[in-house]
Copies of this chain bind each other. A is one copy, B any other.
Amino acid sequence: MEPKQYELIVIGSGPSGEKAAVKAAYFGHKVALVEQAPMFGGAEVVTGTLPSKTLKETALFLSGKQEKGLFSIERDLSRKASIEDFMYRKNLIMNSEATSIGVNLQRHGIDVYQGTASFEDLHTINVSAPANCSLIADFILIATGSYPYHPSNIPFDGVRVHDSDTILQIKHFPKSLCVVGAGVIGCEYATIFSTAGCKVLLVNDKSSILTFVDKEVTQELLTDMKENGIETFFNEKVSSIDVPTNDKEPLRIHLESKKVIEADMFLLAAGRSGNVHSLNLDKVGIPVGPREQIFVNDEFRTKVPHIFAVGDAIGFPALASTSMEQGRIAVAYMFHTRDLEHHPLFFPYGIYTIPEISMVGLTVEEIEKKDVPFVTGKARYADMPRGKIMGAKRGFLKLVVTREDLAIRGVHIIGNIATELIHYGSHLVEDKKDLYFLISQVFNYPTFHDLYKYAAYDALSTIAGRKLKL
């Protein structure tokens, strides 16, 4: 059979693939999408983003953590919500999102092929069963996502020894959990399981956590982790794990330092690798990095100009939000859609730890390297009227401001709904608004957005050499 012709073939239906395919179709181009799994959505829907956020809400409900500050009482220990509630809601959301992706693809007239894609030549993609066919296109977009990295010394079994995919299929909450890796995924699960009442032991091969985040923010998270009984082991690596035959006995996790950690369950959250093995990239001369990530330029082009790659397959930051944007940008470069004038220079990062972390623009560490005079301004949740109402004990918002023009260059938040609050900061950083603009703004009262104004006064106080609060 003659291969069907398209202007664009998208491989993968996760956040970046879906958005890219739909945008190209919307602009009138003929698009095919290849998805290996029987369900649309990739890591966003099936294994990662949404399920883990559902688990987070479950844990918060179990603990009553957000309300403890308000009423200084502990929630009833009978625990009305359980892992079954979580599984029920997780499946509900997975099905609903996967369906809505399918409807979106169909509505835009995109041809969908189920099967594994591999390069036949520079413009031809073979799709395995069940689709079993070949497709030809002017442009190809690789949006195949990632899979958890499996080092040979870890005896993954999906029951007691987990990676970041299987951890979401557990049948009960463990009494104790050893998490290895203190990046975004490791820190999210460490705080979520700790909040759900598990004893958590966090192991990292570096001396700290979340290395791309502002240091004062990671320090605040570490303090909170410690207060909640999370035990940390820094500059440590796992050498081996003993899995006892008796389920009641703990796992014994041996570190290279000869320390031994005992825990009920184990999670390796030390990075993910690009899903590229079945693509046959050799055939088209696209090299991959040590973690199987594909290298791309600013336009998300690989070494082969008509083949693009986006999302987890290209590595950091590997967030659903940024992946969607990458997909849209790649399509803009393919088809000259002339909508890049609005392309934002700054993306927010959202980390769904408990408490949440979010940031946009420069960190203190980054601005220090630029050798530009700057000041910071900070406001604590506990000092805000709304923070007092909610009984907030921890968390702050920090502004990074250049001294010369008082422009806001970075916003860093740790605390309640940080991932929502940051968007106002995106606007400040993107539009280079200054401190005087910020203090003249009217916010509803009381809200957490007050943090912005109080942080601005704090920065102005530092510049003036005296405390003020207008």
| Residues of chain A whose beta carbon lies under 8 Å from any beta carbon of chain B | 15, 19, 22-23, 26, 44, 49-50, 53-54, 57-58, 61, 67, 70-71, 73, 75-76, 78, 80-81, 85, 89, 92-93, 96-97, 104, 107-108, 319-322, 324-325, 328, 339, 342-344, 347-350, 358, 385-386, 388-391, 417, 419-424, 426-427, 431, 436-437, 440-449, 467-470
Of chain B, the residue at the smallest CB distance from A322 is B442
Alpha-carbon separation in the docked complex, A261 to B421 (Å): 44
Q: Is the CB of A440 within 8 A of B470?
A: no
Alpha-carbon separation in the docked complex, A444 to B421 (Å): 10
Q: Is the CB of B470 within 8 A of A347?
A: no
Provide the residues of chain B in CB contact with A81, threshold 8 Å: 71, 73
Pick from B44, B93, B440: contact of A344, CB under 8 Å: B440
Alpha-carbon separation in the docked complex, A108 to B443 (Å): 23
Alpha-carbon separation in the docked complex, A446 to B321 (Å): 8
Q: Is the CB of A321 within 8 A of B444?
A: yes
Identify 25 residue pairs between A and B in the complex whose beta-carbon atoms are under 8 Å apart, listed by A's number: A15-B445, A22-B469, A23-B470, A44-B445, A50-B389, A53-B389, A58-B71, A96-B388, A97-B388, A319-B445, A320-B445, A322-B442, A324-B445, A339-B436, A339-B440, A342-B436, A343-B440, A344-B442, A348-B442, A350-B444, A350-B445, A350-B447, A419-B447, A420-B444, A426-B441
A-B CB proximity, top 6 nearest: A350-B444, A342-B440, A320-B445, A321-B445, A419-B444, A427-B427
Provide the residues of chain B in CB contact with A446, threshold 8 Å: 49-50, 53, 320
Provide the residues of chain B in CB contact with A80, threshold 8 Å: 71, 73, 75-76
Alpha-carbon separation in the docked complex, A350 to B444 (Å): 6
Q: Is the CB of A417 within 8 A of B417?
A: yes
Pick from B71, B325, B342, B348: contact of A89, CB under 8 Å: B71
Of chain B, the residue at the smallest CB distance from A76 is B76
Provide the residues of chain B in CB contact with A344, threshold 8 Å: 440-442
Provide the residues of chain B in CB contact with A390, threshold 8 Å: 57
**CB proximity of A294 to chain B, nearest CB, Å:** 21
Provide the residues of chain B in CB contact with A44, threshold 8 Å: 445
Given A89-B70, A89-B71, also A443-B470 (CB < 8 A): no
Of chain B, the residue at the smallest CB distance from A437 is B342
Q: Is the CB of B93 within 8 A of A19?
A: no
Of chain B, the residue at the smallest CB distance from A45 is B385
Alpha-carbon separation in the docked complex, A449 to B424 (Å): 10
Alpha-carbon separation in the docked complex, A440 to B327 (Å): 12
Alpha-carbon separation in the docked complex, A213 to B73 (Å): 38
Provide the residues of chain B in CB contact with A78, threshold 8 Å: 76
Q: Is the CB of A448 within 8 A of B420?
A: yes
Alpha-carbon separation in the docked complex, A76 to B127 (Å): 54
Interface hub of A67, A358, A420 (most chain B Cβ within 10 A):
A420
Alpha-carbon separation in the docked complex, A437 to B427 (Å): 12
Alpha-carbon separation in the docked complex, A277 to B447 (Å): 33
Q: Is the CB of B422 within 8 A of A444?
A: yes
Q: Is the CB of B71 within 8 A of A444?
A: no
Provide the residues of chain B in CB contact with A26, threshold 8 Å: 468, 470
Given A89-B391, A420-B449, also A358-B320 (CB < 8 A): no
Alpha-carbon separation in the docked complex, A89 to B449 (Å): 22
Alpha-carbon separation in the docked complex, A159 to B49 (Å): 52
**CB proximity of A300 to chain B, nearest CB, Å:** 15
Provide the residues of chain B in CB contact with A421, threshold 8 Å: 420
Q: Is the CB of B442 within 8 A of A325?
A: yes
**CB proximity of A21 to chain B, nearest CB, Å:** 10
Q: Is the CB of B422 within 8 A of A424?
A: no
Alpha-carbon separation in the docked complex, A353 to B49 (Å): 31
Provide the residues of chain B in CB contact with A445, threshold 8 Å: 15, 44, 49, 319-321, 324, 350
**CB proximity of A209 to chain B, nearest CB, Å:** 19
Q: Is the CB of A469 within 8 A of B348?
A: no
Provide the residues of chain B in CB contact with A436, threshold 8 Å: 339, 342
Provide the residues of chain B in CB contact with A442, threshold 8 Å: 321-322, 324-325, 344, 347-348, 426
Interface hub of A343, A443, A444 (most chain B Cβ within 10 A):
A444
Interface hub of A26, A71, A421, A431 (most chain B Cβ within 10 A):
A71
Of chain B, the residue at the smallest CB distance from A325 is B442
